[in-house]
Amino acid sequence: MGLFEKKPLLATVLGRAFRCLVCDHAWFWTREVKLNSTGAELVGLAWANTSALGLVCDECGYVHEFAGRNRPKLWSEKQGYPEGTR
């Protein structure tokens, strides 16, 4: 299968189960979001390396963007959440 399985994934952020901010759904599609590097420098995100990880809610489509160093970790349906996830 590889990196691009055609199934949404579970996500954890800093060890916490991440849910959609809008509808509380737990399954997401991912996409790389290119940031405008000039804009990124203006808002002090030059360290973010001009790309963000977008988690697209499988249910409502809301896009959550993560540009920091602690990117969300993704888990397949088969894996489930890792032990210790809050």
Query: Residue type for 78, please?
Result: K
Nearer to Zn ion, 25 or 73 (CB): 25
Cβ at position 60, least distance to Zn ion in Å = 3
Question: Does residue number 21 form part of the binding site for Zn ion (CB under 5 A)?
Answer: no
Kindly tell me the sign of the dihedral angle through the C-alpha atoms of 10, 14, 17, 23: negative
Compare residues 52 and 57 and give the one whose CB is closer to Zn ion.
Answer: 57
Query: Which element (helix H / strand E) includes 28?
Result: strand 28-34
**80/12 Cα distance (integer angstroms):** 11
Binding mask 34-63 for Zn ion (x = CB under 5 A): -----------------------x-xx-x-
